Amino acid sequence: MNIDGKAVAQELRQSLAIEVKQLQDDRGITPGLTVILVGEDPASQVYVRNKVRQTKEVGMISNEIRMPADTSQQALLEELTKLNNDPAVHGILVQLPLPKHIDEALVIESILPEKDVDGFHPMNSGRLANGDAAALVPCTPQGCVILAKKHLGDNLSGKHAVIVGRSNIVGKPVALLLLQENCTVTIAHSRTENLTDLCASADILVAAVGRPEMIKGDWIKPGATVIDVGINRIATEDGKGRLVGDVDYAEAEPVAGAITPVPGGVGPMTIACLLKNTVEAARRFG
């Protein structure tokens, strides 16, 4: 059975559109999201275009700042200072990756934590680790939990969640979120021994490794909920290529209780959760 991320993301955007309207009516606030894109990376341009379009669709103010690839770090930091001080900007997102001459960590730390709608600032990751509700939580991990709950219901208590991948953007924060949900959490990674058996003990399996179709059908406990965060383009005979996840979908689908497809699973949830964070930032700090 599929978990339809596209449909869940659409539902979330619809409810956000209502919240945006309420914020406008009750407090005269229109949530505003500014996205900064440095350089011309084609994939980043597509992401940014989608973010801008969806931000407008829910009735929020979208602002896009494009800077050339040779922009100095100083110029980018100055732009962030302006946005930090602009009361009409509730959310700031600097599209990653940045050109090599710019220090990504420094840039992230220069965003006001209250406007850090990516949830990447150490203040927000620290708050998440502490279980502090004031954290702005990274978008893809939020999407993973929403999709798991879509299938399992709101109570994930006692479930064994295995997360394959330990990145700061997905693996670690999704582990912390599932821990908050009272799951028993195991984080696995490239050095984990007996990975197959470990995965086969998961009630909830989150795959976030970036290796095409690495997780096979016999790694999955029958009836498990499988959340596939991978987006990998693989070569095909016709030369067009095809998007696949970190899970071998054809093998896993008959075994799993439910699985997120790629594309159309976790992917669409990321931007929807970015909009959710921006509405949240506007409500709290607007």
Residues that bind ligand GUN (CB under 6 A): 93-96, 118, 139, 270
Compare residues 93 and 137 and give the one whose CB is closer to ligand GUN.
93
What is the β-pairing status of strands 32-38 and 232-234? Answer: unpaired
Backbone angles phi, psi at 58, to 5 degrees: -90, 5
CB of 139 to ligand GUN, least distance (A): 6
What residue number has its CB nearest to ligand GUN?
96
Pick the closer one to ligand GUN by CB: 168 or 190: 168
Nearer to ligand GUN, 104 or 253 (CB): 104
Could you give the count of Cα atoms lying within 13 Å of 285 in the half-sphere of its Cβ?
A: 22
Give the up-direction half-sphere exposure of residue 286: CA atoms within 13 A in the CB hemisphere.
23
The Cα–Cα gap between 203 and 213 comes to 19
What separation in angstroms does the CA of 43 have from each of 47, 61, 146? 6, 23, 25
Q: Please list the active-site residues.
A: 51, 95, 118
State both tokens at 201: 């003990």
Quote the tokens at residue 139: 């978008």
Q: Which two tokens stand for residue 98?
A: 């940045």
- Tokens 């095409």 map to which residue? 212
How far apart, in Å, are the Cα atoms of 196 and each of 72, 174, 205, 247, 253? 46, 20, 12, 13, 17
Which DSSP letter does residue 59 get? Answer: T
Nearer to ligand GUN, 67 or 152 (CB): 67
Q: Which of 118, 119, 135 is nearest to 180 (CA)?
A: 135
By beta-carbon proximity to ligand GUN, the closer residue of 139 and 227 is 139
